Amino acid sequence: MLRLKKSELKLATQGYHFDSNGRKFIRIWTSFSCIKIQVKIEPNKEMHIASRTADFPYFITDNWVEMVFDWSEINEYFIDYVDKRCKEIWFV
């Protein structure tokens, strides 16, 4: 029998995300049950967030905007989902 202890988030990848609004530094954390996307807040810039749904899944910490989702919520290709979520945040 396979035994799994409670799942922990581990850093899967990090790097820059490029879109029409410029670039932003992101980190992607994964576990068996969820995914967390972090977008680094750029100092001295104004942050804009355009949420796709009525609920606001963003947590703002000192240096990061964080989004946490269950794997069951992702019903499309993983990279496309992350790309869409990262396009919701931009800095000017």
Q: Give the Cα separation of 54 and 79 in Å (integer).
A: 23
pLDDT of residue 57: 81
CA distances from 59 to 4, 56, 67, 75, 92 (A): 28, 9, 6, 22, 20
pLDDT of residue 79: 87
Cβ(30)–Cβ(12) below 8 Å: yes
pTM of the predicted model as reported, rounded to 2 decimal places: 0.83
pLDDT of residue 65: 93
- Domains in the chain: boundaries: 10-91
Cβ(17)–Cβ(23) below 8 Å: yes
Judged by DSSP in three states, 2 sits in coil
pLDDT in tens, the chain (92 residues): 566 665 688 999 999 999 988 899 999 999 888 899 999 999 899 889 887 777 778 899 889 999 998 888 888 888 888 898 899 899 98
